[in-house]
């Protein structure tokens, strides 16, 4: 009887404890969720570059697949566009003469580019901040201190976190809280955007639709590259994001270069990012990929970064065995190439142009066997990828 009485008392106590917890804790736990869909982890809980960070960076937005949006149209565009990229029917002949090598660029042109690069602000601070974002051991306080050292960057991050998109009930004044709200993937984009504009001493970005279109393409490419990295094993997601952001840095720089006509019949023209690489070479004596190469070398970035950016159009016309790249570098190049094509398709669809007017490059058949096309399609149609693209668009509008 004594044992039975003890057991009954313990059962009553346990039941009371459960009822107390249920009455004290609201459904969903004791944390208040964000209006736009879920909790944001702290900086130490977020994975660094190279980790699978989808769950950390992309939960705060409804997917493109929601009823009433253009998800189905975009998905159809990506599917058809990538099929065209891998198509070998009516494949245009190789046109190796369309791309110069750096040794083919005239000394006067090189000097002009290098003088322009020398006049720009140092890239080191931007690169250091990007490396810190990818460090899983980075403390929130340390990252916040680095950001608050730049008042313009601080203001932009707070403005984005307080935008109607995130639907915060109370105004945020803490940069640490703001970082957790917007997530690391979006933070990287904001930092690179602000940093590149500072490096270029660009003051008219918000009034220049050409610059905005260039940045939109760079941001789309970075987001797509970070996802398409899963085509291969062990590629660094942070490196892929950075490659996507910087792959067309040469176009930003060429917009500031005076043209150098290459013959008597050529006339000076204002640079257009829509030019083909042959047009760039005819008017400037160099193309944007080689300008990017000179810039990344000048800023001291890694050989992988330099080679991949300078070769990002090459898979359209040159056999893979002629590149001289090791297996890992070739994988980075392929992911960047495919992300670049996907970004063109996404921009074309969002602007109403569709596939027909998107500047899609065909992938040389020698690369086809390296890509699992079924997996590529699955990654491109991933709901979290499409959600991140939507979130990036909202943030771009909020940061204007």
Band of the pLDDT at 325, cuts 50, 70, 90?
Answer: very high
* pLDDT over 70 percentage in the chain: 71
Lowest mean pLDDT among 148-157, 179-188, 257-266, 329-338: 257-266
Alpha-carbon gap, residue 361 to 217, rounded angstroms: 15
Please answer whether residues 162 and 168 qualify as being in contact, where contact means their C-beta atoms are separated by less than 8 angstroms: yes
Place of tokens 């070998």: 88
Please answer whether residues 75 and 252 qualify as being in contact, where contact means their C-beta atoms are separated by less than 8 angstroms: no
**pLDDT average, residue stretch 101-118:** 87
Pairwise pLDDT comparison (117 vs 99), residue with the higher score = 117
Determine the pLDDT at residue 125.
Answer: 67
**pLDDT average, residue stretch 187-215:** 79
Neighbouring C-beta atoms of residue 156, cutoff 10 Å: 20
Determine the pLDDT at residue 294.
Answer: 94
Pairwise pLDDT comparison (66 vs 231), residue with the higher score = 231
Please answer whether residues 311 and 323 qualify as being in contact, where contact means their C-beta atoms are separated by less than 8 angstroms: yes
Q: What are the distances in angstroms from CA 228 to CA 12, 61, 72, 347, 389? A: 55, 20, 20, 17, 14
pTM above 0.85? no
Please answer whether residues 234 and 165 qualify as being in contact, where contact means their C-beta atoms are separated by less than 8 angstroms: no
Q: Is 99 exposed, middle or buried (0-12, 13-18, 19+ CB in 10 A)?
A: buried
């Amino acid at each position: 009887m004594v044992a039975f009485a003890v057991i009954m008392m313990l059962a009553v106590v346990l039941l009371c404890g459960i009822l107390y917890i249920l009455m004290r804790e609201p459904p969903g736990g004791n944390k208040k969720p964000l209006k736009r869909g879920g909790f944001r982890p702290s900086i130490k809980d977020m994975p660094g570059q190279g980790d699978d960070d989808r769950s950390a960076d992309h939960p705060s937005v409804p997917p493109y697949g929601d009823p009433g949006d253009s998800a189905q149209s975009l998905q159809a565009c990506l599917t058809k566009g990538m099929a065209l990229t891998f198509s070998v029917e009516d494949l245009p002949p190789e046109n190796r003469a369309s791309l110069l090598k750096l040794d083919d660029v005239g000394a006067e042109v090189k000097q002009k580019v290098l003088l322009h690069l020398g006049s720009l602000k140092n890239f080191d601070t931007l690169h250091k901040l990007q490396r810190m974002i990818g460090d899983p051991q980075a403390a929130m306080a340390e990252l916040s201190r680095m950001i608050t050292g730049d008042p313009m960057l601080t203001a932009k991050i707070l403005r984005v976190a307080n935008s109607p998109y995130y639907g915060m009930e109370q105004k945020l004044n803490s940069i640490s809280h703001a970082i957790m709200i917007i997530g690391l993937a979006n933070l990287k984009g904001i930092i690179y955007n602000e940093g590149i504009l500072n490096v270029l001493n660009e003051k008219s970005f918000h009034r220049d639709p050409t610059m905005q279109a260039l940045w939109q393409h760079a941001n789309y490419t970075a987001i797509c590259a970070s996802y398409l990295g899963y085509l291969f094993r062990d590629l660094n997601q942070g490196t892929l994001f950075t490659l996507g952001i910087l792959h067309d840095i040469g176009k930003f720089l060429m917009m500031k270069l005076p043209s150098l006509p290459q013959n008597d019949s050529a006339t000076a023209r204002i640079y257009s990012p829509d030019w083909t690489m042959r047009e760039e070479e005819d008017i400037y004596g160099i193309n944007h990929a080689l300008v990017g190469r000179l810039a990344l070398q000048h800023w001291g970035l890694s050989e992988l970064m330099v080679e991949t950016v300078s070769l990002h159009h090459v898979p359209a016309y040159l056999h893979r065995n002629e590149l001289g790249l090791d297996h890992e570098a070739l994988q980075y190049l392929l992911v960047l190439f495919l992300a670049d094509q996907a970004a063109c398709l996404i921009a074309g669809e969002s602007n109403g142009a569709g596939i027909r007017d998107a500047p899609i490059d065909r992938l040389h058949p020698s690369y086809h066997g390296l890509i699992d096309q079924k997996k590529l399609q699955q990654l491109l149609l991933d709901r979290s990828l499409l959600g991140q693209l939507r979130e990036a668009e909202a943030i771009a509008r909020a940061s204007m």
